[in-house]
Amino acid sequence: MKVVMIYGSANDQGFMKPGRDYLDEQKVAYSEHVLSAHRNLPELIDFLRELDKSTEKIVVLAIAGLAAALPGVVTVTTRFPVVGVPVPGGPLNGIDALLSISQLPGGVPCGTVGLHSKAGLNACMFAHRILKLAE
What would the pLDDT profile of 83-93 be if each residue is shown by its tens digit?
999 999 999 99
CATH number at residue 26: 3.40.50.1970
> Once rounded to an integer, what is the mean pLDDT over residues 1-11?
96
Among 103, 58, 73, 52, smallest CA distance to 8 is for: 73
Residue 54 has pLDDT above 90, yes or no: yes
User: pLDDT averaged over the chain?
Assistant: 96
Q: What are phi and psi of 38, to 5 degrees?
A: -95, -40
Number of domains in the chain: 1
Look at the pTM and tell me if it is higher than 0.85.
Answer: yes
| 60 pLDDT tier (thresholds 50, 70, 90) | very high
State the pLDDT at residue 67. 86
If one counts every other C-beta atom within 10 angstroms of the C-beta of residue 1, the result is: 15
> Once rounded to an integer, what is the mean pLDDT over residues 104-125?
96
Are 30 and 135 spatial neighbours (Cβ–Cβ below 8 Å)? no
Could you tell me the residue range of the domain that residue 30 belongs to? 2-133
Sheet holding 110-112, edge to edge: 29-34, 2-7, 58-65, 82-87, 110-112
